[in-house]
Amino acid sequence: MRQILTIPVLFLGLLLMPLSAEAHCDAVDGPVATAAIEALDSQNVNLVLPYAPAAAEPELTAAFKQALVVRGKGPEAKALADRYFMETAVRLHRVGENAPYTGLKPAGVDFGPAIPAAEKALESGELRPLVHLMSQQVGREIAERFEKAQARQIAAKAPTRREEVQAARERVSAELAFIGFVEGIYLAATADGHSEGGGVSNAGGHSE
């Protein structure tokens, strides 16, 4: 069974990767770009350094100094310098995550309710609304796959004739999708890819 589950679990693992969180960090209004502008406005590079790995500090600091110089040459130069520094900060942040940088994403993109709820939990110190949101969503997804698997079990039986194979194949697929989804959630919940020691946490900062 473990070998049979390998493909669906790997597929679900890809689905469960924090893609929206990564895109959120790449956005103009995301935490990394926001910290970059705050650093420039306050002329304090330390505000953005935690978002990059320690090894990237010299490059990020050099880009910071260059951006400050260009910023003083007028509004158009300021806009170019800000964009350059945001891109540099986000690119180096992605390096710290061993992930590709594909450019800054526009501001105002709707990444769904999970990221705002997680941010609100961090700001307020109140975890219950986030736990409730996630529990509801995971519960709905598990129930939906369970119902599909049960419906296939009722509709199909162990095939004894060739014409029964397709229905049995659909039953097996639904069953493995359900089991794989549950295991995928468990593996994602017990993984430590973004805990201490992962992402850019070695630099002492945000790891998404």
15, pLDDT greater than 60: no
Q: Per the structure block, which two tokens stand in for 67?
A: 């951006």
Across 113-135, average pLDDT:
88
Note the pLDDT of residue 89: 96
The region of weakest confidence among 8-22, 85-99, 130-144 is 8-22
Q: In terms of C-beta density within 10 A (0-12 exposed, 13-18 middle, 19 or more buried), how is residue 200 classed?
A: buried
Q: Please, which residues have CB within 8 angstroms of residue 190's CB and are 6 or more apart in sequence?
A: none
The closest of 28, 46, 40, 36 to 72, measured between CA atoms, is 40
Specify the pTM.
0.59
- Binned at pLDDT 50, 70 and 90, residue 109 comes out as confident
156, pLDDT greater than 80: no
Q: CA dist 44 to 41, 49, 73, Å?
A: 8, 10, 19
